[in-house]
Amino acid sequence: MTDPAQLTIAIAQIAPVWLDRDRTLAKALDHARRAAAAGAELCVFGEALVPGYPFWLEHTGAARFEDEWHKELFAHYLDQGVDPQHHLADLRTLAREHALTIVLGCMERAADRGRHSLYCALIVIRSDGELAPVHRKLVPTHEERLVWAPGDGHGLRCHDVGPFRLGGLLCWENWMTLPRAALHADGESLHVALWPGNERNTRPTAPFLAREARGYSVAAAGLMRRDDVPDHVPYAAELRAALPAVPADGGSCIAGPDGAFVVEPATGEERLIVAELDAAFVRRERLNFDPAGHYARPDVLRLELDRQRQGVLHEARLATDTGSGKEPAGVDEVGEGRPGRP
């Protein structure tokens, strides 16, 4: 019988079929199926896996204003973005059939924001196949700001997965103190940190994230090699000439609640990493430190979190006229320049 305190997880460290949404989703589906066959109850993929991280930005002078070369690349990138309600049907079906929770990094082409901006998204597909509120990266880092829009707090929350409360952040969000504190306060005991790849990021962060939270820290990273640039991508030859041989070398790993590695960073190859996590280990380490429990002082320090999905359009709501002859309470004159009530 399965120990109710145990959770089998898989990290799928893979390269995308770069800038090709459908073929990358097919590859992710295959690895999620392999994870389920290995007995995993949770499968995690790296940041921006679908359709791929924008590695060209750093190496091609992408900040040039009104540059036609980069406009064409962005148009292609945008076209390959993900609508979670439309493009993830196969992964959702697999999750439901195998009772498998899937955490996927992708570029969300958000329907609620006009479909022409991309958000670096952490998507949780629950074991019943339903989508959790999507977390959009709060602050794109450095050159990412040229092609990614900033997110909000709507998806900054934890989810029950077996005996754990799972929370996640994207790349350099994992350095941000307050988002981590928000997840701690929501009961996080299993943290997933999604990265585009590189051991230089995952090796130092996984142990400190685990030790700070006294929980497990899973770093899921991708791979990218110069030869992974497909011929059909705009300016493919020029991109291969500009990119280093290995823009992302992986580095997926797992650290336990004591900060020690359970799985050392894996680099240089695609692989499915399977491990078993023990919720009792978390409980033991919480004896001397619980960041949102007995080692918190809400009478002194508290955090305010806005979980509203931010948007541009808020429609005015008109209260029913009672026949008094007066203007209905709560009317907003949007045409006069005052915003409607959200």
Distance from C-alpha of 123 to C-alpha of 107, rounded to nearest angstrom:
10
**Does the active-site annotation cover 108?**
no
- Which amino acid is residue 37, in one-letter code? A
Distance from C-alpha of 190 to C-alpha of 140, rounded to nearest angstrom:
23
Distance from C-alpha of 12 to C-alpha of 31, rounded to nearest angstrom:
6
Question: Which member of 43, 106, 158, 171 is catalytic?
Answer: 171
Question: Which member of 120, 137, 144, 253 is catalytic?
Answer: 137
Distance from C-alpha of 263 to C-alpha of 35, rounded to nearest angstrom:
17
Helix (H) or strand (E) holding 261: strand 261-267
**Does the active-site annotation cover 27?**
no
For 9, the token pair is 């997880």
CA dihedral of 278, 197, 202, 62, whole degrees rounded to 10: -140
Nearest CA to 147 out of 110, 197, 115, 107 is that of 107
- Which amino acid is residue 16, in one-letter code? P
**Does the active-site annotation cover 171?**
yes
Q: Are 305 and 183 in contact (CB under 8 A)?
A: no
Helices assigned H by DSSP within 188-320:
199-213, 236-242, 279-285
Distance from C-alpha of 145 to C-alpha of 139, rounded to nearest angstrom:
8
Question: Which member of 27, 41, 43, 47 is catalytic?
Answer: 47
Q: Please list the active-site residues.
A: 47, 137, 171
